[in-house]
Amino acid sequence: MIASALRLRARAVPIAVVLLTVTACTDDPPAAAPSSTSSPSSPAAGTRQTAMAQEPTAPSDRNTAMTIRLTVHGQAVDATLNDSAAARDFAALLPLTLDLSDFHGKERVADLPRRLDTSGAPDAAEGKAGDLAYYAPWGNLAVYYRDGGSRDPGLVILGHLADGAAERFTTADHVTIEAVS
């Protein structure tokens, strides 16, 4: 019995090493993304997203960590989440299907099933068109289709939509969000 356990362990260790090697993160910096922030102006708007070019020596809340896919009106739109605690916590909720409502003609907002971890997040951000954001005071996800216009306390940028995709959200009532990578 001990011999069979040792043989099983001898097989499992190389497999684990291969899996860790294949899935390990690289040291390559992520591609630069436009900077954006959002304003938490809605009781249902709880998102903030900022995308900035990352410099290897300076931490950024816009590091690209994961690609997600949002489906609205039957059309898929890719987005990139940054490497913040809030974005990682949001990714852990996926897949999600959410009802959206308009807020101030600038963003579509939805209630999330639970609050996100915002540790290490900046105190305020300004939402820009294409940003995915979390508005901590209300626990809402926001998708900005127009610039927010002001820095809002409690707004945390989670990521950014692919270029040109923000306009698809101007009339969206529902969104399905799933992890791609």
Domain boundaries, the chain: 33-179
Alpha carbon distances (Å) from 51 to 57, 82, 101, 113: 17, 8, 24, 25
Look at 25 and 138; give whichever has higher pLDDT.
Answer: 138
Look at 170 and 56; give whichever has higher pLDDT.
Answer: 170
Alpha carbon distances (Å) from 24 to 18, 19, 65, 95, 134: 10, 8, 12, 23, 28
pLDDT-based confidence at 181, cuts 50/70/90? confident
pLDDT tops 70 at residue 1: no
pLDDT score of 14: 44
pLDDT tops 90 at residue 22: no
34-80 confidence digits (pLDDT tens): 333 333 334 443 333 333 333 333 334 444 479 999 999 999 999 99
Q: What is the mean pLDDT of the chain?
A: 76
- Of the ranges 5-9, 83-87, 123-127, 177-181, which one carries the lowest mean pLDDT score? 5-9
Q: Is the pTM here over 0.85, yes or no?
A: no
pLDDT tops 60 at residue 2: no
pLDDT score of 124: 93
The CATH number for 33-179, chosen from 3.30.1650.10, 3.40.50.920, 2.40.100.20, 3.40.50.300, is 2.40.100.20
